[in-house]
Amino acid sequence: MIAWTIYLSFAGAVLVLLLPRAFARWIALAMAVAGFGHALGAFFTQGADFSHFATIVRLPWIPALGINYHLAADGISLTMALVTGLTAVSAVLFSWKVEERPNEFFFWLLLVVGGSYGVFLSADLFLLFVFYELVIIPKYFLIAIWGSTNKEYGAMKLTLYSFFGGTLVFIGILAIGATARTFDLQQLAQFPFSAQLQSWAFPVLFLGFAVLAGIWPLHTWAPTGHVAAPTAGSMLLAGIVMKLGAYGALRVACNLFPLGFQVWSKWIAVLAVIGIVYAAGVALRQGDLKFVIGYSSVSHMGFVLLGLAAANVLGVSGAVLQMFSHGVIGALLFALAGAIYYRTHTRDLDDLSGMGLSRALPFLAFAFVIASAASMGIPGFSGFAAEITILIGAWKSFPLAVWITGVGMVVVAAFTLRALKLTFFGEKVPGVGGDASHLPNERASWPEKLGAGLLIFATLAVGLYPKLLFDRIMPAVELMRFLHR
Amino acid sequence: MNYLQLLQAAAPEAIVVGAALLVLTIALLTEGRSARAGVSVARRPAAAKDDIPVGTRPMGICAAVAALGLALAAMAVVRLTTHSDLYHGMLVLSPLNSLFKLIVLILAFFTVLLIRGERALPNEGEYLAMVLLATVGLMLLIGSEELLMIFVGLELSGLSLYLLTGFDKTNRASAEAALKYFLFGSTASAFTLFGLSLLYGMGGTTSLGELTVALGAGPLPPLFLLGVVMTLVGFAFKIAAAPFHFWAPDAYQGAPVPSAAFIASASKVAAFVMLGKIVLLGLGSQPGSAAWAGLVAGWKPILAVLAALSILLGNLAALAQKNVRRLLAYSAVAHAGYTLLGLIASGREGFSATLFYTTIYAVTLLGAFGVVAVVRQKTGGEDLFDFAGLRTHSPVYAACMAIFMLSLAGLPPLAGFAGKFYLFLAAVRGTADQGLLWLVVLALFGSLISLYYYLIVLKEIFLGKERTHSHQADFSPPDTVSRSAVVALAAIVLLAGILPSIILDPILAALR
């Protein structure tokens, strides 16, 4: 059953610390694959009810406070677990060559993965918050020890920002715990919180989660943190961790406080749209490849928030699909950026453009073209399916937002193409990047091909047949309380 | 009531006193010339003693006797009768008192184990005897619900702790710390005694239970407020709440490591138990309210001000620290602030949250000082840069320190998070309309600030480059006993975080 995704990840983390170096990456891979397998298995179970939050395990944990160890899953949780599995496997594959202290590296990595599975499968608010906060410190160490540019600053900024978001969430949870004497998400979804409580608790709770989702203007930790992080760190950050925030906003803030949502939804849409356009604009001006991708993550997460703000079945389903889609695409982009950096030791776009990388690194170039296409929202890839659904849903609630987002999408295409061209398709300048013999001709290794292939397959499959995911997401979304009827 | 019954009721305390006397005797007989004539000498111990590296010394017989005495006393506590009240509250046997006497004894036991990790302490026997006597003082403090006995407990533990702070006579910082602690503490005790006398004057009784009835729920006479404020001054000093915390940084930094550990852990636990009893039991009829919209005079607003000041001052001052022990001291001030929230919330939930948090905190801090002792032994100092490279030297200690620091910051799945969650939940639930939310929000932002300085310590440990050390460095193998103690404490912190019920349920049961 799907709870094993959590247990295997944590068990793997402990094992990795205790066993010798050589085993570290294999154990990590094994656990990641096993977790992914479980997620896939649960996803494709015939005849399962994806609409209801079906309990998997429910044990009393802290009876004095009414807290239970309660895991449950519905279509949304399973989708998120699936993207966690995908990203985890490819993150481990792309970290195959980590030389320095690999045991600790995979320890922290598996903790992030396990904590993320935990958030997506939690049906108890306290448990969700435990897993949510649990991933903060592993991120700090991943970035501070194995990161690159400005790693100590980036790590501290990301950690403190995440903890700040967690503090806001904590306040919201305390407000919930004080009024309703239970922490069970299913019971809380039925609880009639007073309108006055909801009016102040909702923005606090939503903002707290949305910080991790990269809501403008509380997004500045994301580009800095992504750039500073090692490849696997960025993949996990963009792929899963940002989705933790969005999931929390959906499952907790919106679902428990529908009245509060109605009061504040317009503002969420405003911030989302600003995020989409602003981040895209900033990405256009960046000189470091990872900064471009980092800001594109913020921009894509803006779509998720817009979908949530739309508050109808299409909008929210699109948002969940975008969480999946961007998880895959963002991970792929960061993975490729990391692979390039590993070989050329630079991420500066101007430097890269003189290296003629499309000849030197053909597989990476191919993968990057696909990733860029997916990121731009070209039909056939999952990004298109998600974004079009969000925009149709948002059109019903905020037509002006759709117009502005349309403009933003042009900017998205612009910065993506710019990054693609400069990275791979620049004119080879003799003398730039050293001469041809110095340029590492390292072809993509098998773990990298496998990891990239997995992600490409995922985005293509969902892009060509979005019904695969929508069949699971939509029934669950229809039961959400905060939708406009 | 004959003396045999009294002895049975006070058996744990008697055993610890007996152990203290036994340790003193053994020390006099075995420790050689520096202990001759009972006067300790203020110069470095002779060469013979220096030659034996700390880690390989056989378990001193004094330490063994002390540990055994504490263990026996713990067993005696478990076998006490559950309910008994001697002399109108002077010695009360109740599940709550027994539980916390047990906790204090366990903390003292771990302190004795940590003494092994310290450089050869001159006159170790006297040191151990002082620790045991301080423990007795704390146990008397916990066991009393009567004003005079509270003062006796305060003084006994206080005097012992002053001596423990100044024990290292070769170190100026130790003497300075002890003097500050003593002067501050004596003044605070004077205030407390005066306050207690005022309360007695108004209530006509020294027993806490009868006092609350005598004070009644009517309008507050101004003298009452004066009495309460003065009493609380003494306890605020003991828990190191701002603005009565000025002794703490120097005491934590200058004192020998086991003394600082003991002050930070056992003394705080006992002080909070006592403070809780005084305000909830003795002054329970006049609480007032610290709600944002509805401030009512009583002891709650006083504690709220203390808490707010402690959180602000403790966290902000800790940001600037370069010495880890000083950092821990200021963080202790902040944690005193958080813990006070539970008392302000009052009620069974609030008091249990306070007790849970202070227990967890004591265990964590004891472990942190254990690691500090190791670093001090290896590098001769305990500044941030001395911690650099601890990960390569001793990954076990590095991991334990990570657990302790992150627990203090309040991160799951560690005990500090469960403690803070319960504390803040109790605070928000305890007042109608979430009146204490302002204080809780302040506490949460204080926690956010604290994450930064705890991470700085961890950054040094896990990322820092090791420096070449001064000649004081001691490269002896780590001491197994103190290492096991630190690992055991870390395991407790982790376990209590994953399953808080193992500590919470006994506390709740004791408060019924």
| pLDDT at site A448 | 87
CA A204 to CA A165: how far, in whole Å? 9
Q: Does A56 touch chain B (CB under 8 A)?
A: no
The span from the CA of B140 to the CA of B159, in Å, is 14
- Choice between B281 and B294, residue whose per-residue pLDDT is larger: B281
Q: Is A136 on the interface with B (CB under 8 A)?
A: yes
Which percentage of chain B shows pLDDT scores above 90? 47
Residues of B in contact with A163 (CB under 8 A): 448, 451
pLDDT at A343: 83
B356 contacts in A (CB within 8 Å)? Answer: none
| Sequence-ordered alpha helix ranges (H) in A311-356 | 313-344, 349-353
Query: Could you tell me which residues are beta bridge partners of residue B220?
Result: none
CA separation for the pair A204, A223 (Å, rounded)? 23
Distance, CA of B205 to CA of B209 (rounded, Å): 9
Q: Fill in the amino acid letter for B51.
A: D
Tell whether B441 lies on the interface with A, counting CB pairs under 8 A. yes
pLDDT in tens, chain A (485 residues): 788 889 999 999 999 988 888 888 888 999 999 999 998 888 887 667 777 778 888 888 888 888 999 999 888 999 999 999 999 999 999 988 888 888 899 999 999 999 999 999 999 999 999 999 999 999 999 999 998 878 889 999 999 999 999 999 999 999 998 888 889 988 888 888 888 888 899 999 999 999 999 898 999 999 999 999 998 889 998 889 999 999 999 999 988 999 889 889 899 999 999 999 999 999 999 888 999 999 999 999 999 999 999 988 999 999 999 999 999 999 999 999 988 888 888 888 887 877 777 777 888 889 999 999 999 989 999 999 999 999 999 998 889 999 999 989 999 999 999 999 888 887 776 665 544 445 555 777 888 889 999 999 999 999 999 998 898 888 888 888 888 75
Closest alpha carbon to A163 in B148, B454, B403, B401: B454
Q: How far apart are CA B213 and CA B198, in angstroms?
A: 16
The mean pLDDT value of chain B amounts to: 85
Q: Whole-angstrom Cα distance, residue B470 to residue B111?
A: 27
**Taking CB atoms and an 8 Å cut-off, how many pairs form between chains A and B?**
74
Q: What angle do CA B401, B403, B406 make, to 5 degrees?
A: 105
The answer to whether residue B15 scores a pLDDT higher than 60 is: yes
Q: Which two tokens stand for residue A394?
A: 């948002």
Q: Which residue of A has its CA nearest to B432?
A: A178
Cβ-Cβ contacts under 8 Å, A183 against chain B: none
pLDDT band at B35 (very low <50, low <70, confident <90, very high): very low
User: Are residues B463 and A144, on separate chains, in Cβ contact within 8 Å?
Assistant: yes
For the entire predicted model, the pTM comes to 0.91
Determine, for residues A178 and B424 on separate chains, whether the beta-carbon distance falls below 8 Å.
no
Residues 6 or more apart in contact with residue A286 via CB below 8 angstroms: A292, A295, A349, A415
Binary contact (A130, B417; C-beta < 8 A):
yes
φ and ψ at B290, to 5 degrees?
-110, 20
Cβ of A64 within 8 Å of Cβ of B501? The answer is yes
Dist. CA B388–CA B405, nearest whole Å: 15
Rounded to an integer, the average pLDDT of B338-362 is 91
Under an 8 A CB cutoff, do A130 and B455 touch? no
Nearest-Cα distance to chain B for A30, in Å, is 25
* Mean pLDDT, residues B426-432 taken together: 83
B406, B455, B457: best to mutate for the A interface, most A CBs within 10 A: B455
pLDDT digits (tens, 9 = 90+) for B48-74: 444 444 433 445 788 888 889 999 999
Smallest Cα distance from B235 to chain A, Å:
29
Hey, of B391, B423, B501, B505, which one would you mutate to test binding to chain A, going by the most A CBs within 10 A of its CB? B501
State residue B479's pLDDT score. 73
Q: Tell whether B510 is within 8 A of chain A (Cβ).
A: no
Return the residue of A nearest to B455 by Cα.
A156
Q: Give residue B48's pLDDT.
A: 42
CB-based contact, B224 to chain A, within 8 Å: no
DSSP, collapsed to helix, strand or coil, labels residue A238 as helix
- A175 in contact with chain B, both atoms CB, cutoff 8 A: yes
Searching chain A, which residue's CA lies closest to the CA of residue B503? A62
For residue B406, list chain A residues with Cβ-Cβ distance below 8 A: 137
Residues 6+ apart with CB under 8 A from B311: B334, B337, B338, B442, B443, B446
Report CB contact under 8 Å: B501, A63: yes
Integer Cα distance of A26 and A16 in angstroms: 9
pLDDT tens-place string over residues B165-204? 998 888 888 899 999 999 999 999 999 999 999 988 888 8
- Nearest CA-CA partner of B96 in B269, B266, B253: B269
Q: Does B475 touch chain A (CB under 8 A)?
A: no
Q: Does A171 touch chain B (CB under 8 A)?
A: yes
Chain B residues whose CB is inside 8 A of the A174 CB are 424-425, 428, 434, 437, 440
3-class state of residue B93 by DSSP = strand
CB contact B348 to A (< 8 Å)? no
CA distance A146 to A231: 9
Q: Once rounded to an integer, what is the mean pLDDT over residues B32-43?
A: 46
- Nearest neighbour of A164 by CB, restricted to B440, B448, B463: B448
Min mean pLDDT across A135-144, A303-312, B78-87, B132-141 is at B78-87
**What does the alpha-carbon distance between residue A172 and residue A252 come to, in Å, rounded to a whole number?**
10
> Looking at residues B225-240, what average pLDDT do you find?
88
Q: What is the per-residue pLDDT for B55? A: 39
Whether B9 contacts B80, CB under 8 Å: yes
Taking CB atoms and an 8 Å limit, are B411 and A137 in contact across chains? Answer: yes
For residue B377, what pLDDT is reported?
Answer: 81
Q: Which carries the bigger pLDDT value, residue B107 or residue B204?
A: B107
* SS3 at position B391: helix
Q: What is the pLDDT of residue B52?
A: 44
Is the predicted pLDDT of residue B3 greater than 80, yes or no?
yes
Out of B424, B455, B508, closest to residue A140 by CB: B455
- Asked whether the predicted pLDDT for residue B34 surpasses 70, the reply is no
pLDDT tens column, B441-476: 999 999 999 999 999 999 989 887 776 654 445 555
